[in-house]
Structure 1
Amino acid sequence: MLTPFVRYVLSKSGYTITKIPKHRCKASAPEPAPSSRFLRKILKDPLNPDFHLLYAEELFKKKRLYLAYAEAKTAVSLATEAKNADARVQTYREALPDTITLDHNQYFRLFSLSAEIMHQSKNRSSSVLDVGGGQGELAAFIPEYSYCLAEPAINGISGTALPFPDNAFDYSVSCHVLEHIPVKSRERFLDQLLAKSQKGVILLNPFFIEKTCPDERIRLFLEITGAKWAEEHLDNPLPEIREIQDYAAKRSLELSIKPNGTSSTSAAYVFMSYFAEKAGQLKELQAINAFFNTRYTHILNSHESPNAYLMYLGKGQANSRTSQ
Structure 2
Amino acid sequence: MELLGLHHISIFTENARRNFDFYTKVLGLRLVKKSVNQDDPYTYHLYYGDEIGNPGTAVTFFEVPNMAKNRLGRNQISAMSLRVPNDAALDFWHKRLDEFEVFHSIGEKQFGRKIIRLKDVDGLTIHLVSDEENNGVPAGHPFEGGPVPLDYAITGLGPVRISVLKKEKTDAVLTKLLGFKRAGAYEENEKLLTVYQTGAGGTGAEVHLESRPDLESHNLGAGGIHHVAFRVKDDTEMLAWIDRISDSGYANSGYIDRYYFHSLYFREANGILFELATDGPGFQTDFEVEHGTYVELPPKFESRRAEIEAHLTPLDTDK
Decide: shared fold, TM above 0.5. no
Give the structure, 1 or 2, with the largest relative contact order (CA under 8 Å, sep 6 or more): 2
Which is higher, the Rg of structure 1 or of structure 2?
A: 1
Structure with the higher fraction of residues in strand conformation: 2
TM-score (norm 1): 0.29
TM-score (norm 2): 0.30
